[in-house]
A and B are shown apart, each in its own frame.
Chain A
Amino acid sequence: MTASLPQPLRLRQGGLINRNQPLTFTFDRRVYQGYEGDSLASALLASGVKLFGRSFKYHRPRGVFSAGPEEPSALVEIDQGKAERDPNHRATMVELYEGLETFSQNHIGPLELDLMEANDLISRFLPAGFYYKTFFFGGLQAWYRFYEPIIRRAAGLGRPPMEADPHHYDKIYTFADTLVVGGGIAGLTTALSLARAGQSVLVCDERDRVGGAALWQGERFDGQSGAAYVDHLVAEIEAAGGRVLPRTTVFGVYDGGTYGALERCHDHLAKAGRRAHTARMKYHRIQADRVVYATGAIERSVGFMGNDRPGVMLASAGHAYLGRYGVRVGQQPTIFTTNDGGYAVAAALAATGADVTLLDARADSRLEAEGVRVLRGVHATQAHGRMGLHRVDYGGAQSGSLSTDALLVSGGWNPAVHLTSHTNDRRQSKPVYDANLRAFLPPELVDSEAAAGSVTGALGTVDCLASAAAAAAKFGGAALDTPAVDEAVAVSAPKELWAVPGAGKAAFLDLQNDATVKDVGLAAQEGFRSVEHMKRFTTLGMATDQGKTSNVNGLALLAAATGREISAVGTTTFRPPYTPVPMGAFAGHHRQRDYEPFRYSPVYDWAEANGATFVEAGLWMRPSWYTQTGEADWLESAVRETRATRDQLGITDVSTLGKIDIQGPDAAEFLNRLYTNGWKSLPVGKARYGLMLREDGFVFDDGTTSRLAEDHFYMTTTTAKAAAVMAHMEFVHQSAWPDLQVAFASVTDQWGGLALAGPKSRDCLAALFPELDVSNDGMPFMGVIETTWKGHTARLFRISFSGELAYEVAVPADVFDAFWREAMAVGAQWDITPYGLEALNILRIEKGHVTGGELDGRVSMDDVGLGKMVSTKKDFVGKAMSGRTAFTDPDRVKMIGLVATQVDERIIGGGIVFDSKDGPFDHTTMLGYVTSVAAFSPLKDRSIALAFIKNAADYHSKTLYVVSHVHNRAIIEVTAESPHFYDPKNEKVTG
């Protein structure tokens, strides 16, 4: 089987592609072919495609600039349906598969005729800082309504998917003694040495095939090809127990030997070839004692006019396309180099029969390349060809113009120091500029780090192998025989040339952001001296590639423009991630309900089957109301439930309350220190309402705690604060009073609880526990009885939140559903009515009980009318600070009840309270605010509320006004009264 579609730039032989497996794919709906082993970029180049996309700002036509992850220009969208449309893939990193569908980005209309190209024609009016400077006309409103939408449309990086990501992602902990980042010759050699010394070694390489430049540079190792020698190294590492992960990018270095890595598991496979239920990507959280940075180096370009034209690329890219993919990027290529490295690719291209010219910026170079015409002391001045390069002008020692179809540029190499800076930056250990190598080298590394290969500044494979041996020695690696390197590629430090003389506008540095040599000059002119400010002003080094091919040129030019040394300017801060990581990979399976699971009461199923509508309360799903046939809305249901409870018998699920079991000889003493009131005198078999303060004196939480034995208490907390109360108790116990002999555990999930409330609740309880005396004498208010129900422990509490005669019963969670159903059956004779949170809320507001709305962290005991609940005989958490003068300020807001004057007007939650309806309704006149609202109180036959206002005592029986600025601003007239609307003498509860 052979490819049938033309690939004019593909050589007949060479490369690491599988020519027996042609693959058909599309780019902008046109059909092309490549081979297994191709990247999208190499297959398109082979097919003669030069134009890959449009630039971000000026919409200039752009080709492919590199052959690796540093690619700034050739960004494409991969489309597999609406939810799987994925923008900003680097064509150099996309592996070809059968049926791959790709699209170019950043244009309106066809790629060749982008309507936004006008931006390029007016680009002299769109310099750096243009966005910041220009759009003030018309003010902020004009920015939001007019300018921003247009700019966003014009300056985009592809289209995002508009539906939930259908893929799934895994997170995995991965452990190693030593992590080796980068699977080039240096990384693999170091890894083998360490693996042979008995260390567990993990090699991560971002490419689909490990080996780095050895795969395409043409060097031979002990007589083997680079690819064969790489295979040999990998096999040896694995034989020694090491692991080698291709397609795995280590994107971040974190504290404590933690490294983030992204493994791309199935993006390179056609959909049909993907195994079901496998993750698209795995986020490895790697824990390693040591790390070897073998991250390599990234070639840089030189600033000259038109250096962004499709057909201009890095010299190493031209070499990689030839060596790895068998693609000759031009029949008549020109190399423009500042160092020896350009000669190898020139010779390799000439060997294929291409007509090669090399422009060497150095006048004094003596190097030759076979079959290559060399011009010395010469630099490219301008590249021509909007849609594809066809000519290059040169100047310097001689000037002229060449016909050419590919321009391969080498301005030198930048060691990939990114990862080496992620944590060392915090020690103020920054990348170091080496003026001889003209490159930034890694910062001073800590003991657990080493670097190997070209990231150390090593020039050439022999030096890289030496640096690998040094790195391995640092970590106690085994000695290895060094391979003989034949046909070694010549490498040298470059001549210093960041931009050619006369380069300005249209001499690009950052191809992704269209930042030019001129922009950097403008930044300097505007007074931006810091490289970080220059980055933000010009946008050089931003977006998806983070300036991997442009930063160093930019900062070097800034140094020149501001008359400083490059080392004084320094680099911008390197932060994770090294290359983009999809958010889905960080989320893994922790999304939607797997991120925040629901908690269900044991009677959730019963409630659902009986018409409950649920509300999320924290993680809990709690019944809000139970709809009966014919009821129009929630309020009608809630009011019916409230009335039934007041008149007969209600039942509600209180399983969600926090429950803490406290035991030990010092348990009572511990409670004494936690709560404001006293606990030592509480007899066994009694419950007490308790109030907890924070140490700063504000109210923290409330609840009822019962004494089951001398040394055994059962505490309840509010649903919302259950976890916080537990952590608070642990903190004060462990940090302040570790000598107290007390232990406690959360038993929230171990017990189910229900409340029976209403005049018939005693009858119902007696019917459920016929052997018990639950009369007012046998079980008085706040009485507690521990008994059994069908052989299971049952705890009965005579406590009330509703203001009615009421009991709570707790049984083990696994029998709670059965107990609830029995209560419903037994209670049927009194028309037992289940009530939800809404009715519970009406009941407790009528009674003036506080909950989270009132206890919002800003109130004191006095503010909520519980100032009497302080024992003066003992110390407790918050006691000292509750004596602060601010707490006795007469201007403090205190709790009060409000009743709507009009039957049909509803008080609004969060409304602001005023004493005049004339306004202004602002902070100068506000008295306070509403915290809880009953939309309708059967007791008052209208809406009531709890509120906090200044001088509350003075406003009893007075008319006030509630205004909600976030609702409809209607002025609601209310009357203030005691918040204890219902049974203020507590006769119902105690009778």
Chain B
Amino acid sequence: MLIPCPHCGLRPSEEFVPKGLAEAPRPALGGRAKPDGPAWQNYLHLRDNVADHNHEYFHHALGCRSWIVVHRHTLTHEVTGATMAADFWKADKPATTGTQDAKSPAAETAEDGQ
């Protein structure tokens, strides 16, 4: 499998370490969320795990060390793009970058996509 790292371009999956689904942001710092309340339970434990397109954290551990969120179909393994984890939870996050149709890493990281 190839993963389109927004920083490095298409790289083989062996360079990455997966962490799991990115389905909820970390509850706000210093917030009043209770440990058994929905915010923490959603962040830590509850995963829809759909047989469909998913957002998954990957760490480019043997590359640029970025944490990225990969958009992947869990049945077909089709990867449709990736976002820097740093941008993923931002309201005005940039467009998803990098698809496997692209020819060169430069094209994949172009902000306007294809």
Query: Cβ of A129 < 8 Å from any Cβ of B?
Result: no
Residues on A with beta carbons closer than 8 Å to the beta carbon of B35 = 697, 880-881, 883-884
Indicate if B47 sits at the interface (CB-CB under 8 A): no
For B44, the chain A residues whose CB sits under 8 A away are 695-696, 881
Residue A606 is within 8 A (CB to CB) of chain B in the complex: no
The answer on a CB contact under 8 Å between B59 and A731 is yes
Bound CA span A573–B87, Å? 40
Q: Does any Cβ of B come within 8 Å of A255's Cβ?
A: yes
- Shortest CB distance B44–A (Å): 6
B61 in contact with A880 (CB, 8 Å): no
Tell me the chain A residues, 722-746 only, with Cβ under 8 Å from chain B.
727, 730-732, 734-738
- Minimum Cβ distance to chain B for residue A592 (Å): 20
In the complex formed, the residue of B with least CB distance to A289 is: B103
In the complex, which residues of chain A have a beta carbon less than 8 angstroms from the beta carbon of B34?
Answer: 880
Inter-chain contacts of B12 with A (CB < 8 A): 258, 285
Most buried by A among B26, B30, B57: B26
How many angstroms between the C-alpha atoms of A426 and B34 in the bound complex? 41
Q: Return chain B residues, CB-CB under 8 Å to A730.
A: 59, 65, 67
Interface presence of A586 (CB below 8 A): no
Pair A734/B79 contact, Cβ less than 8 Å: no
Given A426-B76, A735-B67, A884-B36, A254 contacting B26 (CB threshold 8 A): no
On whether the beta carbons of B67 and A880 are closer than 8 Å, the reply is no
For residue A254, which residues in chain B have a CB less than 8 angstroms away from its CB?
Answer: 1
Question: How many whole Å from A429's CB to the nearest CB in chain B?
Answer: 10
Chain A residues positioned under 8 Å from B43 (CB to CB): 695
Chain B residues, Cβ within 8 Å of A735? 22, 26, 57, 67, 85-86, 88-89
Contacts of A289 in B (CB 8 A): 103
Q: Bound state CA distance, A881 and B41, in angstroms?
A: 10
Distance in angstroms from A737 CB to nearest chain B CB is 8
CB closest chain-A residue, reference B87: A738
User: Does A938 make an interface contact (CB < 8 A)?
Assistant: no
Rounded to whole Å, the gap between the CB of A423 and the closest CB of chain B is: 8
User: Does chain A have a CB within 8 A of B2?
Assistant: yes
In chain A, what residue has the closest Cβ to B34?
Answer: A880
**Residues from 539 to 571 in A contacting B, C-beta threshold 8 Å:** none
- Enumerate chain A residues within 8 angstroms of B79, measured Cβ to Cβ: 255-256
A386-403 residues with Cβ-Cβ distance < 8 A to B are: none
A736 to B43, CA, bound (A): 11
Q: A673 at interface (Cβ–Cβ under 8 A)?
A: yes
Q: Which residue of A lies closest to B3 (CB)?
A: A256
A258 in contact with B75 given A696-B44, A880-B40 (CB within 8 Å)? no
Q: Does A257 contact B (CB under 8 A)?
A: yes
A726 CA to B29 CA, complexed, in Å: 21
**Cβ–Cβ contact B2 & A257, under 8 A:** yes
Contact of A257 among B27, B76, B100 (CB under 8 A): B100
How far, in angstroms, from A360 to B38 measured CA to CA in the complex? Answer: 73
Find out whether the CB atom of B1 lies under 8 angstroms from the CB atom of A731. Answer: no
* B30 contacts across to A, CB distance below 8 A: 874-875
Q: Which residue, A732, A734, A883, has most C-beta atoms of chain B within 10 A?
A: A734
Any chain B CB within 8 A of the CB of A427?
Answer: yes
Q: Is the CB of B33 within 8 A of A880?
A: yes
In the complex, B66 has a CB within 8 A of chain A: yes
Can you name the residue of chain B whose Cβ is closest to the Cβ of A886?
B35
Question: Are A734 and B67 touching (Cβ within 8 A)?
Answer: yes
Contact partner, A734, options B10, B61, B85, Cβ 8 Å:
B85
- Asked if B26 and A736 sit within 8 Å, CB to CB, the answer is yes
* Structural contact, B100 and A731, CB atoms closer than 8 A: no
Considering the chains assembled together, what is the distance between the CA atoms of A255 and B79 in angstroms? Answer: 9
A734 engages B84 (CB within 8 Å):
yes
* Cross-chain contact of A727 among B61, B78, B86 (Cβ < 8 A): B61
Given A285, A738, A875, A881, which contacts B40 in the complex, CB threshold below 8 Å? Answer: A881
Please give me the residue from chain B that is nearest to A745 by CB atom. B65
A862–chain B nearest beta-carbon distance, Å: 15
Q: A321 CA to B21 CA in the complex, in Å? A: 56
- Quote the shortest CB–CB distance from B21 to chain A (angstroms): 12
Mark each residue of chain A from 247 to 290: 1 if its CB lies under 8 Å from any CB of chain B, else 0.
00000001111100000000000000000000000000101010
Out of B10, B57, B77, B84, name the residue touching A255 (CB < 8 Å).
B77
Instruction: A482 to B65: give the CA distance in the assembly, Å.
Output: 53
Q: With A256-B79, A426-B75 given, is the CB distance from A738 to B61 under 8 Å?
A: no
For B33, the chain A residues whose CB sits under 8 A away are 880
Q: A426-B75, A880-B27, A883-B35 are in contact. Are A727 and B84 (CB under 8 A)?
A: no
Alpha-carbon separation in the docked complex, A381 to B79 (Å): 54
Inter-chain contacts of A427 with B (CB < 8 A): 75-76
Within 8 A of A (CB), among B24-65: 25-27, 29-31, 33-36, 40, 43-44, 57, 59, 61, 65
Cα distance, A734 to B26, chains bound together (Å): 11
How far, in angstroms, from A884 to B40 measured CA to CA in the complex? 11
Q: Which residues of B contact A287 (CB under 8 A)?
A: 2
Question: Could you tell me which residues of chain A, from 880 to 901, have a CB within 8 Å of some CB in chain B?
Answer: 880-881, 883-885
In the complex, A121→B84 CA distance in Å?
Answer: 68
Inter-chain CA distance A874–B30, complex, in Å, is 7
Bound: A731/B20 CA distance, A? 12
- Chain A residues contacting B40 (CB-CB under 8 Å) are 880-881
Name B59's closest neighbour in chain A (CB-CB): A727
Q: How far is the CA of A255 from the CA of B2 in the complex (A)?
A: 7
Once bound together, how far apart are the Cα atoms of A717 and B36, in whole Å?
Answer: 30
The residues of B with any CB-CB pair to A shorter than 8 Å are: 1-2, 10, 12, 17, 19, 22, 25-27, 29-31, 33-36, 40, 43-44, 57, 59, 61, 65-67, 75-79, 84-89, 100, 103
Show 30 residue pairs from A and B whose CB-CB distance is below 8 angstroms, ordered by the A residue: A254-B1, A255-B1, A255-B2, A255-B79, A256-B2, A256-B77, A256-B79, A257-B100, A258-B2, A285-B12, A287-B2, A423-B77, A426-B75, A426-B76, A426-B77, A730-B65, A731-B57, A732-B26, A734-B86, A735-B22, A735-B57, A735-B86, A735-B88, A736-B25, A736-B29, A738-B87, A874-B30, A875-B29, A884-B36, A885-B36
Given contacts A255-B79, A427-B75, A880-B27, 12 further A-B contacts (CB under 8 A): A255-B1, A256-B1, A256-B79, A258-B12, A426-B76, A695-B44, A727-B59, A730-B59, A731-B59, A732-B26, A734-B85, A738-B86
9 tightest A-B CB contacts, nearest first: A738-B86, A256-B2, A255-B77, A736-B26, A255-B1, A735-B85, A734-B67, A875-B30, A734-B85
Interface residues of A (CB under 8 A from B): 254-258, 285, 287, 289, 423, 426-427, 673, 695-697, 727, 730-732, 734-738, 874-875, 880-881, 883-885
